[in-house]
């Protein structure tokens, strides 16, 4: 007796492995250390050039954090 559902199960497993691999690569590219360093540098430049606006942003973030 031949089970016709076996190839479908194998295809689902192969597709899930491929999709997981693609998601892993996409996440790796998104969370690259260069992106985090660039964002940190932009924040430092912003706070150095505009300390009052930086203080307002900081206060807003702290307020949001306490309301969680």
Question: What pLDDT, in 10s, does the model give residues 23-34?
Answer: 888 877 666 666
Contacts of 41 (CB under 8 A, 6+ apart): none
Give whole-number Cα distances, 21 to 6, 30, 45, in Å.
23, 14, 37
Cα angle 42, 43, 49 (rounded to 5 degrees) comes to 90
Q: What is the pLDDT of residues 38-57, one digit of tens each?
A: 888 999 999 999 999 999 99
Q: Where are the domains of the chain?
A: 1-31, 33-68
Predicted model pTM: 0.44
């Amino acid at each position: 007796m031949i089970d016709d559902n076996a190839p479908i199960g194998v295809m689902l497993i192969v597709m899930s492995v491929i999709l997981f691999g693609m998601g892993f690569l996409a996440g790796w590219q998104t969370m690259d250390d260069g992106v985090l360093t660039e964002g940190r540098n932009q924040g430092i430049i912003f706070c150095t050039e505009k300390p009052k606006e930086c203080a307002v942003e900081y206060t807003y973030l702290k307020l949001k954090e306490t309301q969680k």
